[in-house]
Amino acid sequence: MEMLVKAANGQALAFAASYCMVLLLFGVFLAIRVIELRRSKRIGMGDGGERDLARRIRAHGNFSEFAPLLMLTLVLLALLGAKEWLIHLIGFSGVLGRILHGAALTRSAGSSFGRVGGMLLTFASLIIGAISLLVLAWGG
């Protein structure tokens, strides 16, 4: 493990960890919003037919599907020696995408700038991250 950490470029691993921390805290925030509404409506399981609760559950679920992929990508990039600017590009756009999407989905089930923009930023981050991982792992 020590050898992997030494391979990380400058502050890249620290920046990757910082973006992961923001994602983790936003995930906790989304979970708390679900718990708050469950308690106020006295719904222990499922959504009880409550539209607001269904949206909050889905926002947390969608976040939970994509945030771990972003975190893994950021850490692997840093360990493979990615430049700091690449960590910031993927980290900032990924975090912004997740926040836009999560905030928009908790407000409305329909299409919105936040949902579409958030998913586009998330997908762009993951695709750029995947290509970058391939290049760093096998490109020399």
Query: Which CATH number do you get for residue 30?
Result: 1.20.120.550
CA distance 113 to 95: 16
CA distance 111 to 103: 13
User: Model confidence over 77-96: pLDDT tens digits?
Assistant: 999 999 999 999 999 999 99
User: Model confidence over 94-122: pLDDT tens digits?
Assistant: 999 999 999 888 777 677 888 899 999 99
Predicted TM-score (pTM) of the model is 0.88
> Which residue is listed with tokens 């600017």?
85
* Number of separate domains in the chain: 1
Range from 1-15, 40-54, 65-79 carrying the lowest mean pLDDT = 1-15
CA distance 114 to 108: 10
CA distance 50 to 48: 5
Q: Specify the pLDDT at position 111.
A: 78
Domain that residue 47 falls in: 2-138
> Which residue is listed with tokens 């972003």?
70
Burial degree of 45 (CB within 10 A; 0-12, 13-18, 19+): exposed
